[in-house]
């Protein structure tokens, strides 16, 4: 069991995290997803899904987010309350069914693993 | 440490982790943002540069203390049999009489002048958490004065033996935003009287109830040091904790004295304890796992208790037997019993069955 750490084995400037989003398209819908892929570990995570120009008179259409993983950590459904859903129907409840024009955004504002510590109720961290 | 070698001084934590019990090492790491996959959380920690500085400077740090564990000395009215004279003046006196030690000492530094100097110095630091150990903190001169000097935003932790009550200290504690109160008890069974002499479990239980009524916001943990004599009744502590929504915490699996470890029981003798503990664990319905090392997450009490119980089940099921220590245990317990006019058999009904006549 590896229990001791040589700090030199780790380097924040070369360590990355991987952001992946899985989803289903329902009907014909225009959308844009940003913030996926690989990024430096100290960068805040900003995942954004925009629903664009939806015609509410057309048949039902939406994006259903089925999975968001950061490294091996799954955020759906346990962390979806941290996503801010700004849409033209003023629908604010946590959801992964994006059926309104608008944006669905997670902005951790701080490095992901520090955010995850707080969001998971891991207690206080020293400043 | 940087050579990936284990220190003997860390062995208690490694032992806990081997049996899935959350260790002090893990708890402290969590405060620094280190958990789970350390290849990710170490470089993410805001303390990364401090670790590096420390590694490059022979372990020295340029940071000021934030988290203190403060030993106030050994003044204590209890003489718990698993304790030591370094932590109990009463036990020290008894051991001196029994010639276990040459000379007992009352230790501490909490005279008025030293306490004042300490208070002056600590006020210049940004202390986030201060945990007091003793001795019995409520009996130690200077405890109240130190509390009075602390900012209300400081989180204060301390442990009591539930035999002492001091209104003036409790009133002072009410000013703090966060208080972590540990209350020592081994089990809700008469063997607690033998283990935590001269307390009586009926009084201890009454005082625990009294402490729990002081302030709903306080984080309360029952602090146990499971030994061969309390392990069959450890389930009573978890049952009490579940009924009262409080935590259970122990520093480690008992290291010293070795002859009081639960593992001096042969494996078949542990079955009843395992079964009782497992029954309590199985009775806990929770969708939450205990996913991290924050053992004071008030939203997760049941899952934390379940995880802790299961670590004892694992320990009792898997740890090697140390039954070769039984003769030493018997000599000790019977000597202590004579000194106190107590017979372990009156408190621990399994004694002859487990250890022979």
Start-end of CATH 3.20.20 domains in chain B: 67-355
Contacts for B122 with CB less than 8 Å, ≥ 6 apart: B146, B149, B150
Condensed to tens digits (0 to 9), the pLDDT of residues A16-52 reads 999 999 999 999 999 999 999 999 999 999 999 999 9
Strands of the B219-223 sheet, one edge to the other: B67-71, B129-133, B155-160, B179-184, B219-223, B247-249
Of B122-131, B295-304, B337-346, give the lowest mean pLDDT range.
B295-304
Please tell me the distance in Å from B288's CA to the nearest CA on chain A: 11
Interchain proximity B30–A117, CB inside 8 Å = yes
What pLDDT score was predicted for residue A1? Answer: 42
What are the φ and ψ backbone dihedral angles of B117, each rounded to 5 degrees? Answer: -65, -45
Q: Do A4 and B47 touch (CB under 8 A)?
A: no
Contact B21, B308 (CB under 8 A): yes
Write out the DSSP string of B105-168.
---B--SHHHHHHHHHHHTTS---EEEEESS-GGGSTTHHHHHHHS-TTSEEEEEE-SS---HH
Higher per-residue confidence, B281 vs B294: B281
The reported pLDDT for the residue numbered B288 is: 62
Instruction: Tell me the pairing of strands A73-74 and A62-70.
Output: antiparallel
Chain B residues touching A77 at Cβ < 8 A: none
pLDDT at B294 over 90: no
CA distance readout (Å), B45 to A61, B3, B158: 42, 21, 28
* B293 — pLDDT class (breaks 50, 70, 90): low
> What global pTM score does this model have?
0.89
What per-residue confidence (pLDDT) applies to B2?
A: 46
Query: Cα-flanking dihedrals φ and ψ of residue B130, to 5°?
Result: -135, 125
pLDDT of residue A5 exceeding 70, the answer is no
B8 touches chain A (CB under 8 A): no
State which fold the B67-355 domain adopts.
TIM Barrel (3.20.20)
Give percent above pLDDT 90 in chain A: 84
Q: Which of A3, A5, A7 sits opposite B14 (nearest CB)?
A: A3
DSSP 8-state class, residue B256: S
Of B10, B41, B52, nearest to A113 by CB-CB distance is: B41
- Restricting to A residues 26-45, those with a Cβ less than 8 Å away from any Cβ of B are 41-42
Judge contact between A31 and B26, C-beta under 8 A: no
Give the whole-angstrom CA distance, residue B283 versus residue B306: 9
Residue B322: per-residue pLDDT: 96
Phi, psi of B303 (to 5 degrees): -65, -35
- For residues B272 and A88, what is the distance between their CA atoms, to the nearest angstrom? 63
β partners of residue A30: A52
pLDDT at B297: 78
Give the per-residue pLDDT at B309: 96
Q: Which of B17, B41, B296 sits opposite A123 (nearest CB)?
A: B296
CA distance A68 to A94: 14
Q: Which one has a higher pLDDT value, B17 or B190?
A: B190
Asked whether the predicted pLDDT for residue A2 surpasses 50, the reply is no
**CA gyration radius, chain B:** 21
Inter-chain Cβ pairs, chain A and chain B, closer than 8 A:
98
How many C-beta atoms lie closer than 10 Å to residue A14's C-beta? 9
What pLDDT is recorded for position B35? 92
User: Confidence band (pLDDT; 50, 70, 90) for B48?
Assistant: very high
Residue B67 to residue A126, Cβ atoms within 8 A? yes
Whether the CB-CB separation of A79 and A67 falls below 8 Å is answered with: no
Enumerate residues 6+ apart whose C-beta is below 8 A from B46: A114, A125, A126, A127, B33
Contact A72 B37 (CB under 8 A): yes
SS3 (DSSP) at A72: coil
pLDDT digits (tens, 9 = 90+) for A48-102: 999 998 999 999 999 999 999 999 999 999 999 999 999 999 999 999 999 999 9
Check the CA dihedral B183-B194-B197-B132 and report its sign: negative
Residue A3 contacts B where some CB pair is shorter than 8 Å = yes
Task: Say how many C-beta atoms besides its own lie within 10 A of residue B53's C-beta.
Answer: 15
Q: Is B67 exposed, middle or buried, given 0-12, 13-18 or 19+ CB atoms closer than 10 A?
A: middle
Q: pLDDT tens across B159-189, in order?
A: 999 999 999 999 999 999 999 999 999 999 9
Assess whether pLDDT exceeds 90 at residue B198: yes
pLDDT reading at B135 higher than 60: yes
CA-to-CA separations, A73 to B20, B123, B178, B216, B294, in angstroms, rounded: 21, 41, 31, 34, 18
ipTM: 0.91
């Amino acid at each position: 069991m590896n229990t001791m750490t040589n700090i030199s084995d780790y380097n924040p400037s070369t360590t990355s995290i991987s952001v992946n989003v899985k989803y289903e398209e329902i009907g014909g819908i225009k959308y844009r997803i940003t913030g996926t892929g690989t990024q430096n570990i100290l960068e805040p995570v900003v995942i954004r899904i925009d629903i664009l120009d939806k015609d509410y008179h057309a048949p039902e259409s939406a994006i259903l987010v089925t999975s968001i993983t950061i490294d091996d950590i799954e955020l759906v459904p346990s962390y979806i309350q941290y996503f801010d859903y700004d849409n033209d129907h003023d629908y604010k409840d946590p959801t992964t069914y994006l059926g309104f024009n608008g944006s669905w955004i997670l902005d951790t504002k701080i490095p992901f693993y520090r955010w995850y510590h707080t969001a998971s109720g891991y207690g206080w961290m020293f400043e | 440490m940087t050579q990936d070698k284990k220190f003997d001084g860390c062995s208690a934590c490694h032992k806990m982790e081997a049996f899935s019990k959350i260790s002090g090492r893990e708890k402290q790491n969590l405060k620094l943002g280190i958990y789970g996959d350390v290849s990710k959380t170490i470089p993410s920690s805001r303390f990364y540069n401090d670790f590096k500085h420390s590694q490059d400077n022979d372990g020295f740090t340029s940071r000021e203390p934030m988290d203190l564990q403060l030993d106030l000395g050994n003044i204590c009215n209890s003489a718990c049999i698993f304790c030591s004279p370094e932590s109990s003046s009463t036990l020290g006196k008894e051991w001196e009489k029994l010639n276990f030690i040459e000379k007992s000492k009352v230790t501490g530094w909490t005279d008025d002048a030293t306490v004042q100097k300490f208070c002056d110095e600590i006020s210049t630091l940004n202390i986030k958490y201060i945990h007091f150990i003793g001795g019995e903190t409520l009996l130690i001169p200077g405890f109240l004065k130190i509390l009075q000097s602390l900012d209300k935003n400081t989180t204060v932790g301390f442990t009591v033996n539930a035999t002492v009550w001091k209104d003036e200290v409790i009133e002072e504690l009410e000013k703090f935003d966060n208080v972590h109160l540990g209350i020592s008890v081994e089990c809700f069974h008469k063997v607690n009287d033998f283990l935590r002499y001269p307390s009586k479990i009926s009084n201890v239980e009454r005082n625990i109830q009294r402490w729990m009524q002081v302030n709903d916001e306080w984080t309360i943990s029952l602090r146990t040091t499971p030994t061969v004599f309390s392990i069959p009744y450890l389930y009573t502590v978890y049952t009490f904790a579940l009924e009262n929504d409080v935590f259970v915490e122990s520093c480690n699996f008992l290291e010293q004295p070795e002859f009081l470890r639960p593992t001096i029981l042969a494996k078949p003798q542990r079955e009843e304890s395992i079964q009782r503990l497992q029954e309590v664990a199985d009775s806990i319905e929770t969708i939450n796992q205990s996913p991290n090392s924050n053992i004071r997450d008030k939203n997760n009490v049941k899952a934390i208790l379940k995880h802790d119980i299961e670590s004892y089940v694992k320990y009792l099921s898997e740890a090697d037997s140390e039954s070769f220590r039984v003769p030493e245990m018997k000599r000790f317990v019977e000597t202590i019993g004579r000194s106190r006019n107590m017979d372990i058999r009156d408190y621990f009904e399994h004694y002859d069955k487990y250890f022979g006549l």
